[in-house]
Amino acid sequence: MNKQALFLKFTFMAILACILVACNNVNGAESQNISVEKEFEEYRKNVFEPLDERSFKIAEMLNHYTSIIEQPEEAHRYMEEEVIPFMEESRKIASDAHDGLVNEEIRELNDTTIEYLNLTLDSLHKSAELSAIDVDTANVDTVTEETYQKAVKIHEENMELQEKIERTGVEMDRQIDALVNEQ
């Protein structure tokens, strides 16, 4: 193959590459032009509604956890194997949606939703830590001062998480109200 034919081949390939990039940019720009209202409706349908449905299930699970708290091993197993994985799946719904969001208001709402779910998961992990202490001390007549202080510290951390969860929930409600009022 002579130099001129090779040059034309590379030039043609470069032009094709530029056309493909341009087409992708146009398609990306079109998807970037979704209105806040439309994206919020899609977000509500694809993220909030599934999370709302899951919130009823998590409430049932936490009620069940409370009902078996007097059985430390069973309560700990249930928290670790059922409740926490279920909440991780819930967080995944919001996390998976994040990259596809276009409008800043919806992205901020999703960030707040993910923060809320992360804090809730942290709180569940603290509850699991406390239930692990219950398991470790179930057959012990006296709890050591060290174990007691550890449990107090975990409980205090969990109470701080609950306050953060409350504040984050209020912020999430504020963002939702602002989006609803824009429509």
Residue 137 in contact with residue 147, Cβ under 8 Å? yes
Nearest CA-CA partner of 120 in 86, 165, 78 = 165
For residue 102, pLDDT beyond 70: yes
Q: Is the pLDDT of residue 27 over 90?
A: no
Is a pLDDT exceeding 70 seen at residue 17? no
Q: Check: CB of residue 128 under 8 Å from CB of residue 80.
A: yes
Range of lowest pLDDT (22-31, 106-115, 152-161): 22-31
Residue 131 half-sphere exposure toward CB, CA atoms < 13 A? 22
What are the tokens at 139? 């057959």
Contact status, residue 97 vs residue 112, Cβ threshold 8 Å: no
33-72 residue pLDDT tens: 899 999 999 999 999 999 999 999 999 999 999 999 999 9
- pLDDT above 90: residue 106: yes
Which tokens go with 173?
A: 């409600």
Which of these, 127, 126, 59, 132, lies nearest to 90 by C-alpha position?
59
Q: How far from 101 is each of 3, 150, 172, CA to CA, in Å?
A: 48, 42, 17
Q: What is the mean pLDDT of residues 151-155?
A: 96
